[in-house]
Amino acid sequence: MMARIDAALLAAQAAVVADRANFVRKDPAVVKAAKQAAADVRQSLRSISELTAEASAAWQRSARTR
């Protein structure tokens, strides 16, 4: 037999989880870490772009030396 889902209990549990997630999202340490992570990602993208440009330039230089 299948157990019945208690919709009221499910809704109450979902509300508790949503409230906890919102609390965590607004926590100052989490906000600070998220900002730092975003800055790190931006720097990584810049570094990857520079790496791509340098590898491409080296590839072109290597064709001229052969």
Per-residue pLDDT of 13-60, as tens digits, reads 999 999 999 999 999 999 999 999 999 999 999 999 999 999 999 999
Residue listed under structure tokens 């499910």: 10
Instruction: Calculate Rg over the CA atoms of the chain.
Output: 25
Please indicate, yes or no, whether the overall pTM of this predicted structure exceeds 0.75.
no
**Band of the pLDDT at 2, cuts 50, 70, 90?**
low
Sorted by sequence, the CB contacts under 8 Å of residue 30 that are 6+ apart come out as 24
Contact criterion met (CB below 8 Å) for 63 and 56: no
What does the pLDDT read at residue 26? Answer: 98
Alpha-carbon span 52 to 46, nearest angstrom: 10
